[in-house]
Amino acid sequence: MPHRSNHRAGERPALLVLRLQNSHLMAIRLNRSDDNTLALLNRWYLDFFHALMLLQKGNLDYIAGRGVIALHRDLGEPWYEHQPQFFRNGRLLLQYAQRQKLERLYFFANHPEVGWCERQVDCGSQM
Protein backbone atom coordinates (compact mmCIF):
# COMPACT_ATOMS: atom_id res chain seq x y z
CA MET A 1 0.00 0.00 0.00
CA PRO A 2 1.51 3.39 -0.94
CA HIS A 3 2.46 5.88 1.75
CA ARG A 4 -0.08 8.71 2.01
CA SER A 5 0.94 12.26 2.82
CA ASN A 6 -0.85 15.56 3.33
CA HIS A 7 1.99 17.36 1.57
CA ARG A 8 1.62 18.53 -2.01
CA ALA A 9 4.52 18.32 -4.44
CA GLY A 10 7.25 20.75 -3.40
CA GLU A 11 5.94 21.16 0.16
CA ARG A 12 8.24 20.12 2.97
CA PRO A 13 8.16 20.53 6.74
CA ALA A 14 10.45 23.20 8.18
CA LEU A 15 11.32 25.03 11.38
CA LEU A 16 10.71 28.74 11.94
CA VAL A 17 13.39 30.06 14.31
CA LEU A 18 13.70 33.30 16.26
CA ARG A 19 16.74 34.29 18.36
CA LEU A 20 15.62 35.81 21.65
CA GLN A 21 17.31 38.53 23.74
CA ASN A 22 18.93 35.90 25.99
CA SER A 23 20.48 34.19 22.89
CA HIS A 24 18.18 31.19 23.18
CA LEU A 25 16.39 30.03 20.05
CA MET A 26 12.61 29.75 19.86
CA ALA A 27 11.34 27.39 17.16
CA ILE A 28 8.10 25.99 15.81
CA ARG A 29 7.37 23.46 13.12
CA LEU A 30 5.75 24.50 9.85
CA ASN A 31 4.24 21.39 8.26
CA ARG A 32 3.96 22.76 4.74
CA SER A 33 6.63 25.08 3.40
CA ASP A 34 7.33 25.68 -0.27
CA ASP A 35 9.25 28.05 -2.53
CA ASN A 36 6.90 30.94 -1.62
CA THR A 37 7.26 30.61 2.16
CA LEU A 38 10.31 32.85 2.48
CA ALA A 39 8.63 35.62 0.45
CA LEU A 40 5.48 35.38 2.62
CA LEU A 41 7.51 35.58 5.83
CA ASN A 42 9.41 38.62 4.58
CA ARG A 43 6.24 40.35 3.46
CA TRP A 44 3.95 39.77 6.45
CA TYR A 45 6.26 39.07 9.43
CA LEU A 46 9.16 41.46 8.84
CA ASP A 47 9.71 42.92 12.31
CA PHE A 48 10.61 41.16 15.56
CA PHE A 49 7.21 41.55 17.21
CA HIS A 50 5.28 40.13 14.24
CA ALA A 51 7.74 37.24 14.06
CA LEU A 52 7.34 36.62 17.80
CA MET A 53 3.54 36.68 17.55
CA LEU A 54 3.74 34.15 14.71
CA LEU A 55 5.89 31.74 16.71
CA GLN A 56 3.70 32.11 19.81
CA LYS A 57 0.87 30.42 17.90
CA GLY A 58 2.79 27.14 18.17
CA ASN A 59 3.26 24.61 15.37
CA LEU A 60 1.62 25.59 12.09
CA ASP A 61 0.16 23.61 9.25
CA TYR A 62 0.74 26.35 6.68
CA ILE A 63 1.10 30.09 6.13
CA ALA A 64 -1.12 31.97 3.70
CA GLY A 65 -0.12 35.63 3.89
CA ARG A 66 -1.17 37.22 7.17
CA GLY A 67 -3.33 34.18 7.93
CA VAL A 68 -1.96 30.93 9.30
CA ILE A 69 -3.43 27.58 10.25
CA ALA A 70 -2.20 26.72 13.75
CA LEU A 71 -2.46 23.08 14.76
CA HIS A 72 -3.66 23.88 18.29
CA ARG A 73 -5.84 26.94 17.69
CA ASP A 74 -7.46 25.98 14.39
CA LEU A 75 -7.34 22.19 14.29
CA GLY A 76 -7.96 21.52 17.99
CA GLU A 77 -4.84 19.45 18.62
CA PRO A 78 -3.37 19.40 22.18
CA TRP A 79 -1.28 22.49 23.04
CA TYR A 80 1.45 20.51 24.81
CA GLU A 81 2.25 18.79 21.50
CA HIS A 82 2.47 22.01 19.51
CA GLN A 83 3.90 24.70 21.77
CA PRO A 84 7.16 26.43 20.77
CA GLN A 85 10.44 24.66 21.48
CA PHE A 86 13.40 26.47 23.04
CA PHE A 87 17.07 25.67 22.43
CA ARG A 88 20.17 27.00 24.19
CA ASN A 89 22.29 27.00 21.06
CA GLY A 90 22.29 26.29 17.35
CA ARG A 91 23.91 22.88 17.75
CA LEU A 92 20.97 21.60 19.78
CA LEU A 93 18.54 23.12 17.27
CA LEU A 94 20.29 21.39 14.35
CA GLN A 95 20.29 18.06 16.19
CA TYR A 96 16.54 18.43 16.77
CA ALA A 97 15.96 19.32 13.11
CA GLN A 98 17.94 16.27 11.97
CA ARG A 99 16.03 13.94 14.34
CA GLN A 100 12.75 15.35 12.97
CA LYS A 101 14.06 14.87 9.39
CA LEU A 102 13.55 18.54 8.56
CA GLU A 103 15.46 19.96 5.62
CA ARG A 104 14.58 23.67 5.88
CA LEU A 105 15.12 26.23 8.60
CA TYR A 106 13.74 29.76 8.35
CA PHE A 107 15.64 32.14 10.64
CA PHE A 108 14.48 35.59 11.57
CA ALA A 109 17.46 37.96 11.49
CA ASN A 110 16.58 40.87 13.75
CA HIS A 111 17.71 43.43 11.15
CA PRO A 112 15.16 45.29 8.99
CA GLU A 113 17.31 44.98 5.87
CA VAL A 114 17.60 41.19 6.26
CA GLY A 115 14.31 39.84 7.65
CA TRP A 116 13.89 36.08 7.28
CA CYS A 117 16.48 33.86 5.63
CA GLU A 118 16.46 30.18 4.72
CA ARG A 119 19.05 27.55 5.59
CA GLN A 120 19.23 23.95 4.54
CA VAL A 121 19.89 21.33 7.21
CA ASP A 122 22.80 19.01 6.60
CA CYS A 123 25.00 16.89 8.83
CA GLY A 124 27.96 19.28 8.64
CA SER A 125 26.09 22.49 9.55
CA GLN A 126 27.40 24.70 12.30
CA MET A 127 25.70 27.74 13.81
- DSSP symbol at 77: -
Domain boundaries, the chain: 10-86
Residue 66 has pLDDT above 90, yes or no: no
- Which comes out higher in pLDDT, residue 88 or 8? 88
Residue 75 Cα distances to 46, 79, 94, angstroms: 26, 11, 28
Question: What SS3 string covers 16-51?
Answer: EEEECCCCCEEEEEEEEECCCHHHHHHHHCCCHHHH
Q: Is the pTM of this model over 0.75?
A: yes
Mean pLDDT within 70-86: 84
* pLDDT tens digits for range 48-61: 999 999 999 999 99
